[in-house]
Structure 1
């Protein structure tokens, strides 16, 4: 395989990646080569060598760049308070759901349990961005957030099945429901979730995880309000059938969100192209760069629920265009296409060494 200096850049999703590199695809086995020392050295045919620099700092001719997305100050305390509020809501709604004989309250408690898991996941993802990679985990522990998403989805779907079974039984065998208790407890849940949403308002523009938490809390406040209204209606009309119907509606909301979470988490775990990433647009952008006559071995996968990685070969018969040129491409891949870790290899195109995993480019 002939190529000039294969330029390797590492761009972290919010962390300083000392000792972290993504190697090129080996064309005999096409495996990702993660150098434990964090230096991927690429030699060209002129006898030059170019190494990636530890510390995620590239000093090229006096210019360097760091890519560190720091969490909003105080977000750890906000997540801790929101988790504590939702745990309290889960306990209160769970206990009074049993005492008031309300499946709607139990369903809302299940929904707020999903809040706790979701908040812990988002909080953990933000915390993991501050963890430095190691010789064993050269990409850090960001992928653990994908596993957590799968576990979260599985647990929620199981809980939804239990609540649905109970609600259907209540429809065929109505039971008295303490409407006043339902109203009071659900109102407390609405207030708690509304306050939690207010806490996340400040940081929602700076961090997608925080924005997701804000939207989740706001939606849950509305759901709790609906359950509270159903309790009030039951109190004055004694329509006990409304309670299981409301619980089924709450479960439907949970399943709708959870099914997407399960699907996306499974895809990410299988190294599928992350949602929202347009592979053809990336290919077109790279192919339009001066000196590039072909693009192949383009692979994109998720490092975590918030960070993406890319590796690609660009064929440039005139040879390596220089570090500044490649730096500009990597910066655009990060800012325009959300590729937090981009690895580019420059090929002369004198041989055909396409990866067997590389699919033909879609027809335009």
Structure 2
């Protein structure tokens, strides 16, 4: 079943299927409409207070501060990485640079999600946050690959490392990255994109801590091989933590049911509504990293239950099940009304 289209000439009015009364729903694109057919009603209903989760307050400032701090760290680590002959510092600088790019992606996506829908992008630009989180995960894994390649080269040809310089610079990096991770901590449970930024900063803090320890050990033992070896160990930890972010981002990009959404509970709720004898063509997907959409057919032989009843269902779907854009179609059950997607032929 395809996502509900909206043509460029739709006026943003919702019509009651039974009474034929039109009213403005407050949007600049058609979010609700009903077509009165001879044998059934299709009601695409939305609550008048329909909206998506707004970005967590202060996230814009958090991104700006994190980007600025990480740019400074990149410069300091790159300079001292060359001066101290430290692969770990240079790798950490490269990783921090990838984080700056990732933060800029996430920041831009967050801004796009605040833009209003248009005639062409009727669902708005929330999908950009999913693409950004996917790019973030890919960027982090790519940075890990670069670090491993450089570390292997240094293991094969160890070079003297200025342990004290490594320790001081890495400690500063650990503090800055830890502070940056803290900036995103409160928003990372609600937004996959912010979670990506949090993981980038947290991973950097761990890397910097490991590099600082290795610098201290090298200072007292002269074990130059420890510097690249520590880089490889930290990369393994980062890859392990990033895999979940990559998996969730890819699933959302493919319109999979968002994590934490229980389809059976939603189906049971709709099926339990007065007058509903069957629920079919139930689809749920992510509009963004914070907003979800739902479409479903409700078979109601007695006909449309009225806007108040449908609005109540939509309200519950939003509050209880986090469905921020719900479209419910009422069928009388005189035909199957099955969408072509559910009955598409299987590839052999």
If the TM-score is normalised by the length of the shorter chain, which range does it land in?
A: 0.7 to 0.9
- In the TM superposition, residue 142 of structure 1 has moved relative to its aligned partner by 1.5
- Return closer, same or farther for 1:167/1:205 CA change in 2, 3 Å cut-off: closer
- Distance in 2, matches of 1:43 and 1:325, equals 12
TM-score by length of 1: 0.78
Aligned to 1:351: 335
Q: Secondary structure of the residue that 1:300 maps to in structure 2? A: strand
Aligned to 2:20: 48
Report which stretch shifted further, 146-155 or 286-295.
146-155
Note the residue ranges of structure 2 that are not aligned, 5 or more in a row.
33-46, 344-348
- In the TM superposition, residue 160 of structure 1 has moved relative to its aligned partner by 2.0
- Distance in 2, matches of 1:270 and 1:210, equals 20
- In the TM superposition, residue 212 of structure 1 has moved relative to its aligned partner by 6.1
- Distance in 2, matches of 1:158 and 1:212, equals 15
- Distance in 1, matches of 2:317 and 2:179, equals 38
- In the TM superposition, residue 199 of structure 1 has moved relative to its aligned partner by 4.0
What pairs with 1:54-69 in structure 2 (closer than 5 Å)? 54-55=26-27, 64-65=48-49, 67=51, 69=53
Note the residue ranges of structure 1 that are not aligned, 5 or more in a row.
1-24, 360-364
What pairs with 1:227-242 in structure 2 (closer than 5 Å)? 227-242=211-226
Q: Secondary structure of the residue that 2:298 maps to in structure 1? A: strand
- Counterpart pick for 1:272 among 244, 248, 256: 256
- Distance in 1, matches of 2:334 and 2:90, equals 66
- Counterpart pick for 2:120 among 126, 136, 143: 136
Aligned to 1:334: 318
Aligned to 1:79: 63
Report which stretch shifted further, 126-135 or 148-157.
148-157
Asked if structure 2 preserves the Cα contact closer than 8 Å seen for 1:303 and 1:309, the reply is: yes
- In the TM superposition, residue 269 of structure 1 has moved relative to its aligned partner by 2.1
Aligned to 2:39: none
Aligned to 1:319: 303
- In the TM superposition, residue 162 of structure 1 has moved relative to its aligned partner by 2.2
- Return closer, same or farther for 1:277/1:190 CA change in 2, 3 Å cut-off: same
Aligned to 1:181: 165
Asked if structure 2 preserves the Cα contact closer than 8 Å seen for 1:104 and 1:250, the reply is: no
**Residue 134 of structure 2 is aligned to residue 161 of structure 1:** no
Asked if structure 1 preserves the Cα contact closer than 8 Å seen for 2:13 and 2:24, the reply is: yes
TM-score by length of 2: 0.81
Q: Deviations over 1:247-298 (max 9, x none)?
A: 1122223322333333333322222222222222221222222221111111
- Distance in 1, matches of 2:52 and 2:156, equals 57
- Return closer, same or farther for 1:199/1:160 CA change in 2, 3 Å cut-off: closer
- Distance in 2, matches of 1:252 and 1:314, equals 49
Q: When the two structures are aligned, how many residues end up with a matched partner?
A: 327
Q: Deviations over 1:142-163 (max 9, x none)?
A: 1122222333333333332222
- Distance in 2, matches of 1:269 and 1:100, equals 43
- Return closer, same or farther for 1:70/1:305 CA change in 2, 3 Å cut-off: closer
Aligned to 2:135: 151
Q: Secondary structure of the residue that 1:299 maps to in structure 2? A: strand
- In the TM superposition, residue 67 of structure 1 has moved relative to its aligned partner by 3.5
- In the TM superposition, residue 243 of structure 1 has moved relative to its aligned partner by 0.9
Aligned to 2:5: 33
